[in-house]
Amino acid sequence: MMDRITQTARTDAVVMAKNKSTAHNHAVSQEQRKSTSTALLPLPAEIIRMIAKLLPENYAACFTLCSRSMKEILGDQYLKAMKNPPHQTFNFLRKVEMNFVALLAKDLPQHFACFECARIHRARTIKWPNNINDHLGCVQCTRSRQNIYCLMFLSPFEIHFPQVYLAAKQHRSGIDIGFPLEAFRHQEVTHDQSTNVTTLLSVDARFVSNELLLRSQTWVLVPRSQKDRIIENIAHDRLSTRVCKHSARDSLEFMVSELVRSKSSLTRTVQCHHCWMDFGIRQKHCGEAGTAIIITRWINLGAGLDPKDCKWQCHIGRKCLRHKQPLVNIQKAFEDQEGLSMEEFTSGNYEKLLSERRNQPSNRGPDDVA
């Protein structure tokens, strides 16, 4: 009899312990919910309105949009900060104030404030530089030729500032938002049947001191029988325009032409005085395939924080004076980082160029060998 009573008591104790544990967990869960809800909502509406009045207009607008309850209390009076003043708004300008959109996007790690259309986009909807067709990643982001950096004329590889911004954001935060350095690595080969000239563009990317640096090579492979004529035409016909936007200024254009005519197999590195770019030009004999002119560039696109950054603006045509800034060797900064060496980069491009050249039909003369 005593054994039965003892067993029953033990069973009741187990049930009571389980119920107590469940009640405790429920209480903790309720407490967690309370702690994660905004601490401002229990305040009287008058206090919330007083807080909003003390905030700058942009912040008050964000405060209004943080929840439905806040929107009901504050109404629309602060939302005017979302828009540009009427006297600053024209048909060809966006109507939403960019600073407000950027402020609103700060707490959205997987989103960003688009500099093209002043909207908030999911980062993963933005296309990589070699995958743009008609728009950057939404129908509103039409392609503005003034805000694109192109390494080679008619190349599908084009860089928009939002892409630099997203890559830099992922690098700084360590959060995967779909824009690794791989987005800026590219290789393409084109062949002109009318001249029998094959061109290769190759791009590599690294971060140095939180700034996005590119290393690019452009190879122009000229057939043997046309070498002297085509190389002279290339030197005379402003090859320098393939280097940077400022090549025609000062004596840079003449320098580029002389480097081409010199037939040197050594690379001489030159710094543009207007943009953050170092470059070198040399020739390489490719046997029966012909002679290649190689343009290597090391480019600093900046930290990606502001589209008005001089290091970005100077590459898209705006005048900047790099020589007034502290002198930095972009080539050395890039090559000192871990990754593919200059020799490996050049060797890979050479093999790719010859491989693609052999597969191309040509209008070659009697002395040309494919």
What pLDDT shows up at residue 15? Answer: 46
Q: Which of 273, 310, 294 is nearest to 353 (CA)?
A: 294
Residue 348, pLDDT > 60, answer: yes
Residue 298, pLDDT > 90, answer: yes
What pLDDT shows up at residue 29? Answer: 43
The amino acid occupying position 197 is: V
- Could you tell me which residue, 234 or 9, shows the higher pLDDT? 234
What pLDDT shows up at residue 178? Answer: 94
Instruction: Confirm if 167 and 190 have CB atoms less than 8 A apart.
Output: no
What residue spans define the domains of the chain?
43-107, 128-359
- Could you tell me which residue, 40 or 88, shows the higher pLDDT? 40
Q: Residue 349's pLDDT band (boundaries 50, 70, 90)?
A: very high
* Mean pLDDT of all residues in 200-220: 96
- Which of 165-179, 213-227, 254-268 has the lowest average pLDDT? 254-268
Other CB atoms within a 10 A radius of the CB of residue 297 amount to 22
- Which of 110-119, 232-241, 350-359 has the lowest average pLDDT? 232-241
Q: Residue 216's pLDDT band (boundaries 50, 70, 90)?
A: very high
- Enter the pTM of the model: 0.73
Residue 166, pLDDT > 80, answer: yes
What pLDDT shows up at residue 35? Answer: 40
Q: Which two tokens stand for residue 138?
A: 């939404």
Q: Which of 286, 297, 301, 285 is nearest to 240 (CA)?
A: 297
- Could you tell me which residue, 131 or 338, shows the higher pLDDT? 338
What pLDDT shows up at residue 2? Answer: 44
What pLDDT shows up at residue 98? Answer: 76
Q: Residue 53's pLDDT band (boundaries 50, 70, 90)?
A: confident
